Structure 1
C-alpha cells in the first residue's frame, strides 16, 4: 500500500482550484483506468529529427527523467506513456512539436501540471511538456497579469502575495492556471471575485497548423469565447493568458475551520450548509464535506468525519451570525477555529502541496437549489455503507458552496463557454485509493460513486464541472457544456478541422 493519504488532503490538492445517463461505472476497464491505447509507431529517425529541431530536450523511454516527466498525477493512468516527452524551451518549440506530430501522424498532447482528473494530459503519442512557460508578469498600473501557459498557483501566489491584487484560482500549488482557467476555474474566492475564466481578457495559442494567434474580444473572438470555459485539449495549445486582477480586501477577513463527527452531524451539517450556500452573500466562500473513516468501537455511524472550512470577507461576528444555523443544526462541534486575519494569511492556509501519488475517482453535479433533506439522508446512509474506510482508501461527499452568486451570475449562460450560471453548490462524491491496491478496491469505490450520483441526480440540473471530467459520462456534452456545445463544435471545426487535439471527451469536429 502507498503512504497514508486522507481524502481531504487529496481533494484540496486536486484543484480547488461539476438525465440520460447519470452513472459513472467504468464498464470494460479496471479501477486503475482503461488499458492504455496502442503506442504510436514512429521510427527512431523521425524522433531524431524532432530532437534536432527543438531548442529544448526530447526525452525517450530509458532516459533518466522520462518516467517522472511522463507519469500522470492520477495513478489510474500510469500505464499510459508517450513515445517521447518534448520539454520545450519556448513557444516556438511548441509549434515545432505540433507541426512534427501532424507530419508523422502522432497525437500531440500538452501538459502543464499533469493534473487532468481523467488522464487527458497523458498520451501514447507525443507529450509536450510546457512547464517552462511559467512566467508571471503583474502590471500594478492597470491591475492585470500575463501568465505563461503553465504558470501555477504556486507561481501566482509567490508573485502576488502581500500585494494589492489577486487572481482567483485553485488551492493546489502545483496546478497550473492554463488547465484551471480554460475550464472555468473555481476556488475559495470565486463567490466574491468570480471565475478565473471570467477574468481572462486574452490568450495566445498554437494552432493545429503550427501557427500562433492572439485571441481576445477584439480578435479571433470565437475561439476566445471557447477558451473561457470550453476546457483544455480542444482548440490548440495555450501558451499565455492575460487576466484582469481583483483588488485584495483592505480590511481583515475571517478564516474558519469547524469539525464534527458522526452520521447525524453529517446529515444535519450538509443540509444546513446547502441551505446557507443558496442565499449567502458574496463575502461567504466555503465548502463542506463528510468522509467515511476507519470504523472503531462506535460502529460505522460514528466513523464519519464532518467539516466546513472557508473564509468570510468581513469580520468574525458577521461570519458567526451566518454560521449559527449550521452549528445549531449539527450540534456542538468537536473543534472550531474562527479567526480574523489578513487576506494573504488566509490564502497561505488554503494552499496545499502536491500529495504522494495515488489513484482517485471524481464526478460532480451542480445544484441550483438545496437538495431535499431526504436526499441528504440517502447520502449519509451511503457514507455509512462506504466499501473502503481506511486512511488511504475511502470515500467522501463534498458540497462546494462558492460556485454561484451574483458575481458568477453577472455573466449569462452563453456569454462565455462556461455555462453553469445560476448554481448554488457543486456536489462531489470523491474516492481515493493506493496505486497498488487490488482492482476490486477501486471498482467498489466507483460503484459507490454511482450510487451517490443516483441519489443526487433527480434533484439537480444535468450539469457537471468540466474541470472534474469523468470518462464514464455518456452524456458529457450536455453535462459539461449544455446549450453551448453546438457553438463549441463550430469553433473546433474552424480551428482544428482535422481533430489534431483530441481525447475521449474533446469537442468533436462537425462532419
Structure 2
C-alpha cells in the first residue's frame, strides 16, 4: 500500500513547526525554551497545551472552580512513554509537577503553576476472567470502568460519581456502595505499575516493592510516582437491588439514631451499602437514603425493614439490575442532589469520621442547623463503614480508617467572595457541632486545604512509615504539593 502520514501526525508536525517558529522569532521565552518544547512535542504521542493556546483556560480548569492555577505546560499523555518524556523534561528544566487523572481533587491539588501531567487520555480496561483480574489505566473514569464490567458478572467497587478517574481515587482508598461488602477499592489492588521521578518504571505489589504497595493504597496520588496501571482482584456480583427511602423532617433524627446503632459498624449485613443524605428538594430540606443490596430484593427488604417501619417512611426506589446500571440509576433517582447547580459554581467540602454514638437530641441539633443553610445547594451526607472496610487490618495499608461508624461529609457551594464567606462560616458551624463525636481523622480522598495537621488527619500513626517510603522512592521530593508527604 502507498505510504501515507496519519492525520494525527500531520497535526503534530504543524504544532512542532509552530513552536520552532516561535523560537525563530525570539518570542517571549517560557520556562522551557521553544525549541525544547518543540522537541518534547515531537517525541509525544499526546500533546502539549501552553498558555497561548485557545483552549488553555478549559484545559487548566479543575472540576471545582474554587481553584484557579495557571500551569506553564499541560501535557496530555496517551501512553507510558509520554509520561517518561514529561518526567525527563521536568527534571531537566526544574519544573514543579502535578499529576492529574480526572481533576477532582477537593483541595485543587491536580493542577499547579508548573507542569501538569494529565492522564485523562491514558485509558483502558482489560478483563482477565480466568485469573479473576482486571487491568485498568489511571485516566479511566468510572462510567467507562463500570461499562466495561457491565453484564460480565465481575465487579470492583467504584465511586458513585461517573467522571471521577481511577488514578486518584484508588490511591486515596476509594469508597463506594459495595465497599461494606467487598472493601475499600484499594483493598482489592493486586499491583500498581508506577513511573518514578527518575524515569524508572516499577511494579508495586505484595512481593515486589511491598513498601511502595503499602503506601500507595491510601497514601494519595502525587506523592511517590505517576500511576500507570492498576491490577485489581475482581469479585463476583451479578445483580444488585437498588433502594431508597425518604422520611419527613419529624422522623429524621430517629432514622439517624437507628442507622448509627444498627446500620454502620454493627448490625447491618455486609451486603447493604448506602449513603444517607440531607439536602434540599424543591427548595425544602429532605432526608433520604439511597443504596444497594448485593443480593435479592427480598433479602434487601428484610435488611431495611426497621428503617421502613419508622413513620413517614416511603420506599422511593425499588429496582433490580447490574451494579453499573443501578449506579447510574441512583444518579437521578429518587432525585438529584444538590439541585440546579449553576455552571462554574465553586465548592468547599469538609468531612470527619463519626466514632462516638450520638443521642437523638444530638442528631436533631445537626438537622436543625442544616435547615439554616444560606442557600439550597448545601448537602450533608453519611458514608457508612463497617463490614469488609473495618475488617481489613489497619496496618496492612496506608488507609487507616478501619474503626469508624461513618464518614460525615458536608458540601457548600458559592459564586462570589461574599457567598463564600457566608457558606464557609455556616460549614464551620456544622463541623463544630459534630466535632465532639468525630475521631479527628479525615478521608484523604476529600482533602481540605484548611486542615492544620493534615498528616495526622489523613494518616495518623502511619505517617512516619509513609515518610520513610517517600525517602526511598522519591528522595529528591520531586512530587510535592501543599499537603504532600514530607521527607523525614
Q: TM-score, normalised by structure 2?
A: 0.87
Q: Which runs of 5+ in 2 are unaligned?
A: 1-29
Does the Cα contact within 8 Å between 2:374 and 2:422 map onto a contact in 1? yes
Match of 2:247 in 1: 260
**Pair 1:271 & 2:257 matched:** yes
- 1:304 paired residue number: 285
The alpha-carbon distance between structure 1 residues 199 and 351, as it changes in their structure 2 partners (threshold 3 A), is: farther
Structure 2: distance between partners of 1:45 and 1:474:
43
Match among 472, 475, 478 for residue 494 of structure 1: 472
Partner of 2:327: 347
CA contact (8 A) 1:269 1:327 kept: no
**What is the CA-CA distance between 1:431 and the residue it aligns to?**
1.3
What corresponds to 1:376 in structure 2?
Answer: 363
Q: Which residue is equivalent to 2:69? A: 80
Q: Is the 8 A contact 1:277 1:425 kept in 2?
A: no
Whole-angstrom distance in 1 between the partners of 2:293 and 2:315:
19
CA distance in 1, matches of 2:325, 2:478: 44
Higher relative CO (CA 8 A, sep ≥ 6), structure 1 or 2? 1
SS in 2 for 1:255: strand
Alpha-carbon shift at residue 351 of structure 1 (Å): 5.6
Q: Is the 8 A contact 2:104 2:164 kept in 1?
A: yes
Work out whether residues 383 and 406 of structure 2, in 8 Å CA contact, stay in contact via their aligned partners in 1. yes
Match of 1:404 among 379, 386, 393: 386
Deviation at 1:339, TM superposition (A): 3.4
Superposed, which structure 2 residues align to 1:424-503 within 5 Å? 424-433=405-414, 437-503=415-481
CA deviation after TM superposition for structure 1 residue 370, in Å: 3.6
Counterpart position of 2:352: 365
Give a deviation string over 1:214-249, Cα, whole Å, max 9, x none.
111111111111011111010010011111011114
Distance 1:49 1:378 in 2: 61
Residue 312 of structure 1: how far off its partner (Å): 1.5
CA contact (8 A) 2:243 2:315 kept: no
Aligned equivalent of 1:336, options 316, 326, 332: 316
Separation (CA, whole Å) in 1 of partners of 2:480 and 2:240: 43
Verify the 8 A CA contact 1:372 1:459 in the aligned structure 2. no
**Deviation string for 1:358-406 (max 9, x for gaps)?**
31111211123543323212211211221223xxxx32211112x322x
Shift of 1:197: 0.3
- Aligned 8 A contact 2:237 2:294 in 1: no
Structure 1 match to 2:57: 67
C-alpha deviation, 1:428, in angstroms: 1.1
Shift, 1:65, TM fit: 3.1
Q: Is the 8 A contact 1:266 1:290 kept in 2?
A: no
Whether the 8 Å contact between 1:149 and 1:240 is mirrored in structure 2 is: yes
Structure 1 residue aligned with 2:41: 51
Paired positions, count? 450
- SS class of match (2:459): helix
Q: Give deviations 1:323-348, integer Å, cap 9, x for gaps.
A: 3333444x213662333445554233
- Report the counterpart of residue 179 of structure 2 in structure 1: 190
Q: Distance in 2 between matches of 1:144 and 1:358?
A: 39
In structure 1, the partner of 2:372 is 385
Question: Which range moves more in the overlay, 342-351 or 357-366?
Answer: 342-351
Q: Which residue is 1:23 aligned to?
A: none
- Check if 1:165 corresponds to 2:154: yes
Give the corresponding residue for 1:395: 378
Counterparts of 1:143-222 in structure 2, within 5 Å, are 143-222=132-211
Structure 1's 450 and 156: CA in aligned 2 closer, same or farther, altered over 3 A?
A: same
User: Does residue 1:291 correspond to 2:279, yes or no?
Assistant: yes
CA distance in 2, matches of 1:156, 1:294: 33
2: distance between equivalents of 1:177 and 1:340?
26
Indicate the residue corresponding to 1:281 in structure 2.
269
CA displacement 1:105-147 (0-9 Å, x = unmatched): 2111111111111111011101111122111110011110111
Q: Secondary structure at the match of 1:451?
A: helix
Per-residue CA deviations over 1:78-123 (Å, capped at 9, x if unaligned) read: x212112111231111111112112212111111111111111011
Whether contact under 8 Å (2:245, 2:308) holds in the other structure is no
Unpaired runs of at least 5, structure 1: 1-39, 296-302
CA RMSD of aligned residues (A): 2.2
- Bigger-Rg structure (1/2): 2
2-structure distance, mates of 1:499, 1:351: 40
- Provide the rounded CA distance (Å) in 1 between the counterparts of 2:251 and 2:418: 30
Cα pair 2:70 2:112 within 8 Å, conserved: yes
- Distance in 2 (CA, whole Å) between partners of 1:350 and 1:305 is 16
| CA displacement 1:236-287 (0-9 Å, x = unmatched) | 10011111011114xx53211222343x333232222222323211011111
Shift of 1:452: 1.5
- Matches of 1:178 and 1:272, distance apart in 2: 36
1:415 to 365, 390, 396: 396
